[in-house]
Structure 1
Amino acid sequence: MTTRLIALAAATSLFGLAACTDPNTGAPLGGMSRTQQGALAGAAVGAVLGATRDSDNNNEGRDAARGAILGAAAGAVAGNILDRQAQSLQQSISNPNIQIINHGSYLQVILPEGILFATDSAAVSGPAQNDLYAVARNLNQYPNSRVEVVGHTDDTGRDAYNMDLSQRRAQSVAGILTAAGVNAGRVVATGRGESQPIASNATAEGRAQNRRVEILIRPTQ
């Protein structure tokens, strides 16, 4: 039991460390790469699983160590892949207003409404389509992920209208990704309407930030 408690405490602290990012850039804090952070988080989780799944209750320390080694290897691989995928995305997307944030366990691509759509429209602009094709090429280069396309609006107008608009916009973006060759089985489009603001709707600047489409790339292995 003591080993399990120690492993659990280690997992909590190390996983928290691995998740720390700069709130402005999404870059990892503490000078650690995502590969290193993934290894730490994987080691911590592996240690917990190794200790808690001990079959004979006599070798918890050994099982925790084995779990830590296996977890570290898996976490390092996943972190390295996300590092490389994020870097590739940064290099291939031309619009500087598109944000790419590496959260450690998934990538978040934030596309402001202003570069995607005209007011009240769900038709993607020509220049934005070029960047979405670049995202699609990246997704095909890194096929082991699921892709969530999520539309968001500000709180101007009726709730039902905003929900419908956000859904249509998410579907438009997802449609371009699949038209560019991304397997449709990997892609889910969802509208959130005005329910998940990232800034205050009390100002024009805040409302502009809230009108966006996000592409969430979550590794499946």
Structure 2
Amino acid sequence: MNRPIILSAMLLSVGAITGCTTVDPYTGEQQASNTAKGAGIGAVTGAIIGAATAGKKDRDKSIITGALAGAAVGGGVGYYMDRQEAKLRAELQGSGVQVRREGDTIHLVMPGNITFATSRYDIKSEFYSVLDSVSKVLAEFKKTSISVSGHTDSTGSLEFNQTLSEQRAESVGAYLIQRQVASGRVDTTGYGPRYPVASNANASGRQQNRRVELKLEATE
């Protein structure tokens, strides 16, 4: 197998689709984009398939063609989510909402103290503008599903916390729908105190556990 040609085809394919790096708006550091990672994997796969299926005469051409096709497929979802992530970060900077990326999934973590009053599930009026910003981006990226999950700390009864988490998730989901996000894209679930992200033994940890999260995934 012609490894130098495969490597060259992979680099050509990734470079043609993306600049290979993005700039983190918080740190200012350059980092490999998920588009580049996906395109690179697709390019290697396409190149290998091209090499394996072509005759000796056309092998080099097939390797390059396969790499380009594989990079386009591999980079597609990553590119879509890269763009969505960049717009969300720009809209939400300084809002208190955490934007976290895991592969091709984006998580928006909304702390309960900025979203709801204590033991309430009606959204604070001062948080409307933040949700408006989220809704604007989600309305633009229509091929994204939104899973809204509510979480509480362990203080109080399990029954109360479960109900509160469901109501808070439903409040956020309903607001997004009101702001032109299609209802079929939105799913809401309450988990009560079952999935803490910090210790419930101290006030700081309990505050982190009281949250609503949005999980964003591409549907195609």
Q: CA deviation at 1:31?
A: 3.2
Structure 2 gap segments, 5+ residues each: 1-24, 55-62
In 2, Cα distance between equivalents of 1:26 and 1:186: 29
| Structure 2 contact 95–130 (Cα < 8 Å) conserved | no
Q: CA deviation at 1:61?
A: 3.1
> Is 1:165 aligned to 2:156, yes or no?
no
Q: Secondary structure at the match of 2:154?
A: coil
In 1, Cα distance between equivalents of 2:127 and 2:165: 17
The code of the aligned residue for 2:161 comes to N
Distance 1:41 1:213, change over 3 A: farther
Distance 1:131 1:96, change over 3 A: closer
> Is 1:33 aligned to 2:24, yes or no?
no
The code of the aligned residue for 2:118 comes to T
| Structure 2 contact 34–104 (Cα < 8 Å) conserved | no
The code of the aligned residue for 2:52 comes to G
Q: Secondary structure at the match of 1:31?
A: strand
Counterparts in 2 of 1:72-221, with a 5 A limit? 72-93=71-92, 95-221=94-220
| Structure 1 contact 26–102 (Cα < 8 Å) conserved | no
| Structure 1 contact 26–103 (Cα < 8 Å) conserved | no
Q: Secondary structure at the match of 1:90?
A: helix
Q: CA deviation at 1:74?
A: 2.0
| TM-score normalised by the chain length of structure 1 | 0.74
| Structure 1 contact 147–188 (Cα < 8 Å) conserved | yes
Q: Which has the larger radius of gyration?
A: 2
* Aligned-pair identity (%): 35
Structure 1 gap segments, 5+ residues each: 1-24, 52-58
Instruction: Write out per-residue CA displacement over residues 150-190 of structure 1, whole angstroms, 9 at most, x where no aligned residue.
Output: 00011111112111110000000000000001000000000
Instruction: Write out per-residue CA displacement over residues 27-48 of structure 1, whole angstroms, 9 at most, x where no aligned residue.
Output: 9x9931121122234457x56x
Instruction: State the Cα RMSD in Å.
Output: 2.7
